[in-house]
Structure 1
Amino acid sequence: MFVSLQFKLELKREDKEKLIQLMRKQSSAIRVAYNMLKKLEKEKTKNPHSQIYHRLRQLFPELPTKYIDSAVYKAKQYPTDKSVVFGGKRLFEKLCKNHLTDKAIERIKKQWRELRQGTLISIGSKHKTAQGNLLLRFMELNGNLHLRITTGNREFIYAKVLREPSNSKDKWLTFMAMLLESWQTQNYFAYTVELKLKEGEVYGSVSFEIPTPKVRYTKENGVIAIDTNASPIHLAIAEVSKTGELLSYQTISLHNLLGLSQNTKDHQEWILTHQIVNLAIEKGKAIAVENLKKLKRGRKGDGKAKLRKILHQWNAKKFLQKLKRVAMLKGVEVIEVNPAYTSVIGMLKYAPQLSIDKDVAGAYVIGRRALGFREDTPENYEELLKDKAYLEFALERYEEREEELRELLEKETNEYKRNAIKSELKNVEYANEAIN
C-alpha cells in the first residue's frame, strides 16, 4: 500500500533562501521538460526521456543529475493532451482581471509565483548509497528528525521536521518505525519527497510503500509482557512461557526521557520500542500490553499535580502506539488486555510468591491474562477473608480512615486537594460496603 504523508520544515533564514533558489531552478526544469514532452509525443519520438534529460543537463548544469531525473518524472505527471498553466489556472485568470486593487494583485502574484516556482522533488531509491533518497534524505541530528537537502555537489542544508502523529492510526508512526529500522539494519526502503512553498513556509510530503509482513511471532510460544508505570517512571517487562510461568524479567527506567524536547523524546522512544520488539523476536514470543483505551491519565483538578506532571512529560499511550507499529512491521503479534487490577493482583499474589517487584508482578499478570489464564485468590488470602477477627479489624481500620478523610475534607479549602481527598474517600466507602 502506497501512502503520502505531510510535514512542515523549520529552516534558518539563509538556508530557506538557498532552498527557494533551488526550487526555482527545478521548477523551471519541470516546465521545460513538460513542454518538450508535449512536443516529442506529438512527433511520436521514440525514447523522449533521454532527449529531455540531455537537454535539461545543458540548460541547468548547476542542478544535481538526480534533480534532473526527478524533474522529468514530475513533468510526466501532467496531462499532455490538455493545456497546463503552471502556478494554477484559477490564479492566472484572477491576475488578468482589471478591477483588483494593487494589494490584492500583489497577494495573488505571490501565491501564483509560489505555486509556479516553489517545487522541489526527489525520487526515492532503496539502494544502499541513496539510503532511501539520495537528495532529500531524512536523518537524525542532535536527537531530532531532520531533512538533509542537497543543494549542490556535497553541499547540504538541514531542516528540522515538524510533525506529530494525529492519532493512533496515523501512518506517520509507521513511517518513523520503518525509518529507524532502516537506519539500524542498513536495509533501506525508497521514499519520494516533494517540497512546496506556501505563504513563505516550506511544507513537504513523503510517499512510500507500507509492507504487510506475515505475523511470525505469536502467543503460541508465550509473551513478552509490558507494564507502564509513572511513579517512579519506568517499564516493567516479564517473559512468560506459553504455560504461564515467569521465565525472566527486567525493568527499564524512563527518567532519562523527562525534560527532553518532544522530537528528541520521540526518537529515544522509537529506539526503545525497537529494542523491546527485537527482544520478542529473539525469544520467539508475542508482546502483551495494556489496552490503550483503558489506560488512565491524570486530569486537571484531581489533586494529583505531581503525578499529572510526570504523565504530561511522558505519554504511555503514545509509547505503546509506537511499540504496536514497530511490532506490526516486524511480524510480531501484539495482544492488548484490560489492565484492571493487574497491579493489585501482582502485588498481593505474585510479588510475595516469587519475591519480585510489584511492577514486574503486574507485568507478569498482564502476560498471563494475554495467554488466557485467570487468577485465583491464593489459599492464604481466602482463609484470611474468612477470618472473623481479621474482617472486624479491617472494618475498624476502614471506618477510622473514613472518619479521618471526612475531617480532612471539612478543613481543606483548596479545591484540587479536596478532589484528591474525595477520590480516596470514595474508595474507602466502597471497601466498607464490600466488607459489610
Structure 2
Amino acid sequence: MITLQCLLEFQSEGDRRKVLDLMRRFSSAERYGYRRLLEGWTREELKKHLAQVFQVNTRYADDAILKASAVLSSCRERGQNPTKVVFGGRGLFEKLKKKHLNGEKREELKREWKERRQGNLYSRGDRTKQGNPNLRFVWIMGELYLQINVGERQWVYAKVVRPVKRERDKWIGFIWDLHQAERTGEWFPYNVELKLKNGEVYAHVSISEKFPPAAITLENGVIGIDVNAYPFHLALAEVSPDGNLEGHERISLHELLSADRDKREYLAWQVAYQVVRLALEKGKAIAMEDLEKLPKGRRGDGFLKLRKTLQRWAYKSVLEKIEVLARRHGVEVIKVNPAYTSVIGKLKYAPQYLVDKDVAGALVIGRRALGFEEELPEAYRLLLRDEEFLLYSVAQLEEKVKELKQELKGEENEWRKKAIKARLKTTRGELKTLRAHLRALQSGEGEPASRQLADRRKEPVRGHLSGWRIKAWRVLSAALTVPVLEKFSHVKGTVRDFSPLRPILVLGDWERAVRRPVPVPGAGAAVQECS
C-alpha cells in the first residue's frame, strides 16, 4: 500500500466544526468498540450498537470496529496486555501525569493529546462506491475536493491542497488514476483517514501499489530469508535451482532495537535495499516465511531480556519493506509456510554444510519455495528405528529433568525459577514425545522404512508437510538436542553448533557422536551465543 498525505481547506467554519464533531464521535466509537471487543461482542451486534449510540452510519461504525480490531491484534502480537492500551499515546499520557508540568508546555501537551485521541476519522475504499462511500474525491470546476459524509444526506466539501514535491511524486499517478476512473467509470478502491494535527485536518490516502511484471523469477534460484530474534538479525541463504547452498550472509538488526520510530523506519528500508540489491546482483528471486504471528513471551515467564527484545522486534515491518521494494524492482517474492523450517535446518543442513542454524533455516525456506520436499536422510530414518539409541535418549532426557528439578529446588530468585520451570516443561514435553515414539516402535506401529519417497525435485509443497513427516522431525529434535548436542561443556543455553551431528548424518554413528568430548576444531560456523 502507498499512503499519500494532503491538507484540507474548508469553505466555512461551520463545515469545519461539522467534520471535527464527526471525527470526535468516530474516535469515541473506536475506543468504545475496543472495550466491547475485549468483552467478546460480535462484529454485527457491535456495528448496529455503535451506529445508534454515536449517531454515525453503519459504514463508519464498521470502520471504527475495524480500527479497534487492528489495535487489539497489534497489541496481542506484541505480547502486551490489551486492557492497558492508551488511545492518544502512552508517551503523552505519562507526560501529562507529571505534576511539575504547567503553563504553556502543559497546554501544548493537552492540545496534542486531545487531537490524537479525538481527531480521527477512517473510511475503507470500495470499488463499487466510486472508490470510497464516505470520504470520496470529486472534481468541482477543475479542482479536487474531498466529499465528506457528515450525516444522512449531508455532505461537506473540503478543498484538497497538495503541491507536487518532485518529478516522481506518486501523487501525480493518483490524480491521473482519478481522472481515468471518472472518464471510464472503472473505479479503484482507496482508503482515506482524516487526522487532526496542530489545528489542521489532513487526509491520508492509501492505495494499492502497481508493480511491474517480475523479471527475476525462480529460474535462477532464490535467496531464502530467515528472521531471528536471538541474536536479532536476518540470515540469508543463496539457493541454486537444484536446491544447493551457494552462499550465505547475515544482516544485523540490533540498531533497530534502540532507535526511535522514524529512525527505525529508515533503518528498516536500508536493510530492505541491502537484501534487494543482493537479489538483483545474483539474479535470484526472494523467499520468505509467511509469518502471521510469533510468540513474544508473556509477563512472568522468567525471560525478561528476551521478551523485551521480542516486543520491540518489528519483523513484519522489515519483511513488508523487502517485499514491496523487491516487487518494485521486478523481483519475484515467494512466501512459504514456516512450519519446521528451523528444526529441519538445524538437524539436516547445519551439520551437512557446517553453518549455523539460522542460515540452515534460510536454506530450507529457499528450498521450500523452489518446491523441494524435505525427506529424512537415510541415517536419520535408521536412527528413528534404533531402539538402543532411543532408550539412550530417553535416559538422557530423564537425567535432564532431574537436573532441572534440582536446580529449581535450589533457586531462590522467583524470576529465575520461572525460567527454569519453562525449560523443565519443554524437556518433559520432549520426553513424552520420545516415549510415545518408542512405545509405537516396540509395538510394531512405527513408520515403515519402505514408504515410497515423493519426487523431491518436482512436487510443489510450499507450506505442506504430511503428518508422519512432522512427527518424525519432532521426534528427531527431541532425541538429538539434549541427548547429543547439550552433552558438551561449550554449550550454554541455546545450541548453535550442530557439528556433533555430522557423524550421525554422514556415517549413522550415534555412539561416536555422544562419545566426542568437544566439537571438531574448525568445524562449521559455531556462533557464540550473545550475552
The SS at the match of 1:293 is coil
Q: With the length of structure 2 as denominator, give the TM-score of the two structures.
A: 0.46
Question: Matched residues in 1 for 2:193 and 2:438: separation?
Answer: 66
1:350 aligns with 2:390: no
Distance 1:419 1:248, change over 3 A: closer
Mapped contact 2:232–2:253 kept (Cα < 8 A): yes
1:397 deviates by 0.6
Distance 1:289 1:299, change over 3 A: farther
Question: Matched residues in 2 for 1:207 and 1:340: separation?
Answer: 32
1:294 deviates by 6.0
Q: Which residue of 2 aligns with 1:99?
A: none
Q: Give the gaps of 5 or more residues in structure 1.
A: 9-18, 29-72, 80-85, 94-114, 135-169, 173-192
Q: Give the gaps of 5 or more residues in structure 2.
A: 13-138, 173-188, 440-531
* Structure 1 residues 238-290: Cα deviation after superposition (integer angstroms, max 9, x where no partner): 11111111111111111122210122111211121122123222222211111
The SS at the match of 1:224 is strand
Q: Which residue of 2 aligns with 1:399?
A: 398
The 5 A counterparts of 1:6-405 are 76-77=142-143, 121-124=161-164, 127=167, 200-206=199-205, 210-293=209-292, 295-405=294-404
Q: Taking every aligned residue pair, what percent have the same amino acid on both sides?
A: 43
The SS at the match of 2:248 is strand
Question: Matched residues in 2 for 1:78 and 1:343: separation?
Answer: 52
Mapped contact 2:345–2:361 kept (Cα < 8 A): yes
Question: Matched residues in 1 for 2:239 and 2:395: separation?
Answer: 40
Question: Matched residues in 1 for 2:149 and 2:376: separation?
Answer: 71
Equivalent position to 1:427, from 424, 430, 437: 430
Mapped contact 2:4–2:206 kept (Cα < 8 A): no
Larger radius of gyration: 1
Question: Matched residues in 1 for 2:193 and 2:363: separation?
Answer: 47
Amino acid at match of 2:276: V
The SS at the match of 2:297 is coil
Distance 1:316 1:207, change over 3 A: closer
1:235 deviates by 0.9
Question: Matched residues in 1 for 2:265 and 2:408: separation?
Answer: 41
Mapped contact 1:324–1:334 kept (Cα < 8 A): yes
The alignment covers a number of residue pairs equal to 292
1:368 deviates by 1.0
Q: With the length of structure 1 as denominator, give the TM-score of the two structures.
A: 0.55
* Structure 1 residues 308-336: Cα deviation after superposition (integer angstroms, max 9, x where no partner): 21111222123212222222322222222
Mapped contact 2:3–2:206 kept (Cα < 8 A): yes
Higher RCO structure (Cα 8 Å, ≥6 apart): 1
Amino acid at match of 2:425: K
* Structure 1 residues 295-315: Cα deviation after superposition (integer angstroms, max 9, x where no partner): 443344444322221111222
* Structure 1 residues 175-202: Cα deviation after superposition (integer angstroms, max 9, x where no partner): xxxxxxxxxxxxxxxxxx9998678254
Distance 1:371 1:208, change over 3 A: closer
* Structure 1 residues 23-74: Cα deviation after superposition (integer angstroms, max 9, x where no partner): 88x979xxxxxxxxxxxxxxxxxxxxxxxxxxxxxxxxxxxxxxxxxxxx87
Question: Matched residues in 1 for 2:300 and 2:225: separation?
Answer: 29
1:123 deviates by 4.3
RMSD of aligned alpha carbons: 4.3
Distance 1:122 1:425, change over 3 A: same
1:229 deviates by 0.9
Mapped contact 2:289–2:365 kept (Cα < 8 A): yes
Amino acid at match of 2:379: N
